[in-house]
């Protein structure tokens, strides 16, 4: 909303947010560059491969609506540690050679990240109440950077290990283990006897706030915005390497284009989230991004020879979209508890909606033998997200709706 009131920076909390962000997408986006190899090795159709790519997103949606109860039991901080451990176990499980391990490990990864997705906006609201959009921009930029590095590593790691894509999909494990270590150190340090700097952990869930969120048109607009940007992101990240290879580019080139897009997205996210922090009304950003996102998709349809331009452009827009969606959760919530409730709603409904994306695009390709219908479908999705942004970007909160 308005410009942040100057307050001392909570550096320990910022490091926690950065490590958390670095753990949240790498295990998922690394799937796209390896999708064709995975499909061939596991003998999967495009639709089944799309379902495997959607599995973490399905888990995100299923778990997000039930996070409030474990929060009451364990608190935000302990629950985040347990979720990071689940993420690490899922990554290790995918190293096993059997097909069931790939499915099971991917599902466990989705469950772990699904809980962390809900907790992260509440952490930002709790630890940085006057810098919500700005810190969300940092958080989203780290997500993009970690995702870009993960994508870039898939092909060289797979080639280095004689085509073993399972090792490439587990490259983010050291980061997750570091996040577990530092999150645990901070948790036990803050709760040690005599530590006057420790902040109380809000574990009491206001059921009236939860009910208010689910009845709010503003909350539903934020949810639709979150869901559509996630649908576009996971559908595109799953299939754009295959689209590029169909247009004559190599797997390595497709991975490079995706990586460039993720890193360009860091700059875009910092700019858009800084602007959101300064603007009273954020509709110009939330609506404008939807129309901007249609540009590279039209380019892919009519000028596919320029995929090296369109894919990074699309990566830039999608990364900025994530930062805006996460910031809208914090900005439209009036308190930490309301932020947790809105985060749970937006990510539960939103990610279940998003899970349709990879399956839908894969199914359209199976039916038509062309990626063009799938790309037109993405353009329609951008128009829907612009409509949602027209409501979600308004300068108000759910509490005073």
pLDDT digits (tens, 9 = 90+) for 283-304: 888 888 889 999 999 999 999 9
The phi, psi pair for 23, rounded to 5°, reads -95, -10
Task: Provide the pLDDT for residue 207.
Answer: 57
Instruction: Assess whether pLDDT exceeds 80 at residue 199.
Output: no
Listed in sequence order, the residues at least 6 apart from 351 whose beta carbon sits closer than 8 Å to its beta carbon are 57, 58, 60, 61, 64, 114, 117, 227, 230
Contact 60, 110 (CB under 8 A): yes
Residue 240: partners with Cβ closer than 8 Å, 6 or more residues away: 32, 254, 257, 258, 311, 314
Could you tell me which residue, 126 or 160, shows the higher pLDDT?
160
Distance, in Å, from the CA atom of 312 to the CA atom of 296, rounded to the nearest integer, reads 9
Place of tokens 């219908």: 373
Separation CA 225–CA 200 (nearest Å): 32
Does residue 90 have a pLDDT over 90? yes
Give yes or no for residue 230 having a pLDDT over 50.
yes
Q: Does the pLDDT of residue 198 top 60, yes or no?
A: no
242-246, 298-302, 326-330, 332-336: which range is least confident on average? 332-336
User: Residue 334: what pLDDT?
Assistant: 66
**pLDDT of the residue at 1:** 41
Say if residues 140 and 269 touch (Cβ distance below 8 Å).
yes
Please state whether 369 falls in left (phi above 0), alpha (psi between -120 and 50) or beta: left
Angle 315-156-363 from CA coordinates, rounded to 5°: 50
The pLDDT of residue 2 is above 50? no
C-alpha span between 390 and 340 (Å, rounded):
23
Of the candidates 10, 57, 47, which has an alpha carbon nearest to the alpha carbon of residue 229?
57
Distance CA 374, CA 382 (A): 13
The yes-or-no verdict on residue 80 having pLDDT over 60 is yes
- Each residue's pLDDT tens digit, 152-193: 888 888 888 888 888 888 888 999 999 899 888 877 776 655
97: helix, coil or strand? coil
What interhelical angle do 68-93 and 173-190 show, nearest 10? 150
Encode pLDDT of 98-111 as tens digits: 888 899 999 999 99
Which pLDDT value is given to residue 196?
41
Three-state secondary structure of 300-346 = HHHCHHHHHHHHHHHHHHHHHHHHHHHHHHHHHCCCHHHHHHHHHHH
Q: Is residue 5 scored above 60 in pLDDT?
A: no
Domain boundaries, the chain: 11-194+201-400
Average pLDDT, the chain: 81
Q: For the domain covering 11-194+201-400, report its CATH number.
A: 1.20.1250.20
- Length of the chain in terms of residues written: 401
Q: What is the mean pLDDT of residues 340-352?
A: 80
Q: What pLDDT is recorded for position 61?
A: 79
User: CA separation (Å) from 75 to 67, 68, 72, 351?
Assistant: 10, 10, 6, 23
pTM, to two decimals: 0.69
* Cα–Cα distance measured from residue 323 to residue 272, given in angstroms and rounded to the nearest whole number: 8
Q: What gap in Å lies between CA 197 and CA 341, rounded to an integer?
A: 26
- What are φ and ψ of residue 90, in 5° steps? -65, -40
């Amino acid at each position: 909303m308005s410009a942040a009131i100057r307050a001392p920076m909570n550096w320990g909390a910022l490091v926690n947010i950065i490590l958390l962000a670095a753990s949240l997408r790498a295990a998922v986006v690394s799937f796209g560059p390896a999708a064709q190899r995975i499909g061939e090795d596991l003998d999967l159709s495009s639709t089944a491969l799309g379902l495997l790519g959607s599995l973490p997103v399905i888990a995100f949606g299923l778990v997000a609506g039930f996070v409030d109860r474990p929060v009451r039991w364990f608190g935000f901080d302990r629950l985040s540690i347990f979720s990071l451990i689940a993420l690490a176990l899922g990554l290790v499980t995918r190293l096993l050679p059997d097909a069931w391990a790939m499915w099971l490990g991917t599902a466990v990864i989705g469950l772990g990240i699904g809980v962390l997705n809900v907790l992260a906006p509440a952490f930002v609201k709790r630890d940085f109440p006057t810098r919500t959009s700005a810190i969300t921009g940092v958080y989203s930029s780290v997500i993009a950077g970690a995702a870009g590095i993960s994508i870039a590593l898939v092909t060289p790691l797979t080639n280095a290990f004689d085509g073993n894509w399972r090792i490439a999909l587990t490259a983010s494990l050291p980061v997750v283990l570091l996040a577990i270590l530092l999150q645990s150190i901070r948790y036990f340090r803050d709760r040690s006897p005599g530590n006057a700097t420790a902040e109380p952990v809000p574990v009491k869930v206001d059921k009236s706030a939860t009910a208010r969120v689910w009845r709010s048109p503003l909350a539903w607009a934020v949810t639709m915005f979150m869901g559509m940007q996630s649908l576009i992101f996971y559908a595109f990240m799953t299939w754009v390497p295959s689209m590029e290879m169909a247009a004559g580019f190599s797997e390595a080139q497709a991975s490079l284009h995706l990586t460039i897009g993720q890193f360009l997205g860091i700059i875009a996210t910092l700019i858009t989230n800084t602007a959101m922090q300064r603007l009273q009304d954020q509709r110009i950003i939330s609506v404008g991004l939807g129309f901007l996102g249609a540009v590279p998709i039209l380019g892919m349809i009519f000028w596919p020879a320029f995929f090296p331009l369109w894919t990074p452009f699309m990566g830039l827009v999608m990364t900025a979209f994530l930062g805006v969606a996460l910031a809208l959760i914090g900005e439209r919530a009036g308190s930490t508890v309301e932020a947790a409730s809105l985060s749970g709603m937006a990510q539960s409904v939103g990610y279940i909606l998003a899970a349709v994306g990879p399956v839908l695009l894969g199914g359209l390709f199976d039916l038509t033998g062309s990626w063009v219908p799938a790309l037109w479908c993405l353009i329609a999705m951008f128009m829907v997200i612009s409509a949602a942004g027209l409501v979600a970007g308004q300068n108000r909160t759910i509490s005073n709706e």
